[in-house]
Amino acid sequence: MQRLIQCILLLLGISACSGSESPAIPESKPPSCDEGDFQACTNEGVTAAEEGDPARAARLFEKACRGGAGIACQNRALLEYKGLTQPPDLTRARYWLGLGCEGKQGGSCRDLGVMLMDGEGGNADPTRARRLFEKACELEDAPGCTSWGISLLQGQGGPTDAVSARVALEKACTQKDPGGCAHLGRILAEGLGGPENAEAGFEHIQWACQQSNDEGCAYLGILLAKGIGCKADLEQAIPLLAAGCEMGLDVSCESLKATQRH
């Protein structure tokens, strides 16, 4: 489960002009957590975590989460997941992510879906996980759209639906999620869920690889080896295929063996 503690910086800017002179603007004190500003609680929690005080960060994130700041719920779950305040408690991590998702924080919905798909912190529930990925995507969480697209493409938690998968992955890629572009490029190159467009598929996959996405680089090796959407280039393809094979991608291993037979 990939998460980073997120901090939203508050930028306050005021400008005024009256006649030829600008009136003096009194200094304004930014809202504080003690005054009930839950965004401030979230920001203070991030600072506490960065300063090596996860216990204080946990208290601040809890306060913000219960006040409706969804990102604080996701951050609180991360502390549980990593065991930064106590031994890892994946059941509690699920709890906090659930609160964040209820508060319409897309990242929380997606992370909870990942835990449910993998059976972390409790029983696996692929059907519910897929619904959570869809909700995350509706909330404009790009990695959530990617997870939803993959579940649709692979039939995880429900029937296979390549047409809907293409739509979900297009949304993810439009929002510059490397994983979304990697998988979108693959289905475009293979003509899944719609017309084939090998050239566009190659471009999406190449971009994903440039962003250090492992699957994008693995798929790029396959396209370069076979000359799909591009000119074949075994010199570039072989290292990418070898890396994909080491990741456990059977298609990369098969393509690598095929190049070695020639």
Q: What pLDDT score does 262 carry?
A: 58
- Please state the domain extents for the chain: 35-100, 104-175, 176-262
Q: Cα separations (Å) of 23 from 18, 27, 30, 165, 206?
A: 7, 12, 21, 56, 54
Helices 90-102, 126-138: axis angle to 10 degrees equals 40
**Token pair belonging to 69:** 């700041």
Q: pLDDT tens-digit profile of 195-232?
A: 999 999 999 999 999 999 999 999 999 999 999 999 99
pTM of this prediction exceeds 0.75: yes
Are 220 and 228 a contacting pair, CB within 8 Å? Answer: no
Separation CA 136–CA 143 (nearest Å): 8
Separation CA 180–CA 168 (nearest Å): 8
The top-level CATH class assigned to 104-175 is: mainly alpha
- CATH 1.25.40.10 is the classification of domain 176-262: yes
**Token pair belonging to 11:** 């930028």
Q: Is it the case that residue 187 has pLDDT exceeding 90? A: yes
- Amino acid identity of residue 27, one-letter, is E
Same fold, 104-175 and 176-262: yes
Q: Is it the case that residue 136 has pLDDT exceeding 90? A: yes
Separation CA 112–CA 70 (nearest Å): 13
Separation CA 216–CA 208 (nearest Å): 5
Give the three-class secondary structure for 177: coil
